[in-house]
Amino acid sequence: MKQRKLGPFQVSAIGLGCMNLSHAYGVPPSPEQGAEVLSRALDLGVTHFDTAALYGFGANETLVGKVLSPYRSRFTLASKCGMTGVDGKRVIDGRPETIKRTCEEALQRLATDVIDLYYLHRWDRKVPIEDSVGAMAELVREGKIRSIGLSEVSADTLRRAHAVHPVAALQTEYSLWTRNPEIAVLDACRELGVSFVAFSPLGRGFLTAALTDPAQVAAFDAKDIRRAMPRFQGEHLSANLSLLGDYTALAAEAGCTPAQLALAWLLQRGEHVLPIPGTTRLDHLEEDLAAADVVLSADMVARVERLINRSTVSGPRYNAATQTEIDTEEFPA
């Protein structure tokens, strides 16, 4: 596996987002199936595993700890605080005391003495970013985490946080169909020497071209978070599905699968960009990781970008309620 810099660490160019194994897309796979995916990823050379206290309300950290802790020296472990499950509900809480408590709980679940990269999952707007990051800086000094990350924040918030303590990585949704990082934060990361971790690099499954019919979306599990996302609803969905025929043809021309085309495009956005696709299937895992060897011509990159971009994709990525929780820059309506 090719390597890239993640803050102070050298990791596989493509990491594994572990959320899917416990959270978000309906009924998760069995722990046994999740363990197979994690173990196979490690065998295939993945050295960047990304989890969070939120995922499965602790279940994902527990799974990662149980499966991977015997091989702790072989990979870089990332997790997140600041958004957790409380009494069965998702809660954003960036108070210093909550961050410290969540870290202690995470260390227990992950069966480790230290977390390599610890993100603030969401900026709690009731708490100055300086206070939240200050608490994380104390965790660094105490040796409980090795570096600090931020998730879903703007370039301005990144700069404010970076002034308190160096930020190793910033994580935000980024793919062909979600281009918001190109407004400012991608360049800010490059300027400050901050690694950029792209979550949902496959457009929450859309860029795999496996969804071809509205009936498939209608069959999503009741707890699948995509049910509340405008891009998977009504006229937005129909408009977006109309892009897939040409997109699939471009992937075939490039000699790769649609998923690999999306990941290869991200890898060519800059050496500081690290995608973390997630999956519950071994065949999809192997397909995703093979994208590290796909090289796209400048012409192919231009054609893909003309086909799928902020002007051609229909609908916002989050509904209005969720958008209020997000600090990332937005394109004009």
Catalytic residues, by residue number, are 55
Burial annotation 263-273 (CB, 10 A radius, 16+ → b, else e): bbbbbebeebb
Check: CB of residue 97 under 8 Å from CB of residue 62: no
Structure tokens at 9: 């660490």
Structure tokens at 86: 């409380």
Compute CA distances 244 → 210, 248, 324, whole Å: 9, 6, 30
Radius of gyration of the chain (CA): 19
Q: What does the angle CA 258 – CA 214 – CA 90 come to, to the nearest 5 degrees? A: 85
Helix (H) or strand (E) holding 248: helix 244-254
Q: Distance between CA 253 and CA 248 in Å, rounded? A: 9
Q: How many CB atoms lie under 10 A from the CB of residue 142?
A: 11
Q: Distance between CA 168 and CA 234 in Å, rounded? A: 39
Check: CB of residue 95 under 8 Å from CB of residue 123: no
> Maximum Cα–Cα distance for the chain, whole Å?
53
Q: Which residues contact 32 (CB under 8 A, 6 or more apart)?
A: none
Q: Which DSSP state fits 272? A: T
Q: How many CB atoms lie under 10 A from the CB of residue 320?
A: 8
**β partners of residue 151:** 171
Q: Distance between CA 7 and CA 168 in Å, rounded? A: 4
